[in-house]
Amino acid sequence: MPTQPRPEQLQNFSEKAPEGPIYMLNLLKFKERAEYADGRETELSGAEAYGLYGAAVRKIVEGFGGQFHFFGHCNALVIGDGELAWDAVGIMEYPSLEAFQGMVGSSEYGDIHVHREAGLDHQLLINCLSPEQAMAVAQAAAQSASE
């Protein structure tokens, strides 16, 4: 299951990223037990390993001018069929595409990434437009259609 973006996804995101703040919706599924690539023995659950990453990444994100708007564990499926597919969700904001790229490219991020990989089974990371950004896109489309 994917835990890293493919090159074409990064390219698409870079081309579509709005001016100004970047909002990211994280949908997270954890491994039952953490699995470190270096083979280290651990009693950590996937959620606990991801928690080590989460505590450290929050400081890094804030150092790049970003902020956590929400992080919570999923509780119950209210609409839809089947099983609840995600363990946790988060919404993060970065002041710009450049800040996001700087954060994920930083050595500090690289140092803690091992816990993310050990804990995550799979993830969806979705760039969302703010209401203001979405309105600007809609207005531009309406303007273009009327010309």
What are the residue boundaries of the structural domains of the chain, listed by start? 7-74+81-146
Q: Select from 7, 53, 8 the least CA-distant residue to 26.
A: 53
Report the predicted TM-score, pTM, of the whole model to 2 decimal places.
Answer: 0.87
Place of tokens 């800040």: 99
Residue type, 18: P
- Kindly report the average pLDDT of the chain as a whole number: 93
User: Does 2 score more than 70 pLDDT?
Assistant: no
Q: Which helix (H) or strand (E) holds 98?
A: helix 97-104
Running DSSP on this structure, what letter comes out for residue 64? T
> Which residues have C-beta within 8 Å of that of residue 65, sequence separation ≥ 6?
94, 95, 99
Q: In whole angstroms, what is the distance from residue 47 CA to residue 118 CA?
A: 9
Q: Which CATH code for domain 7-74+81-146? A: 3.30.70.100
For the ranges 11-20, 108-117, 136-145, which has the lowest average pLDDT? 136-145
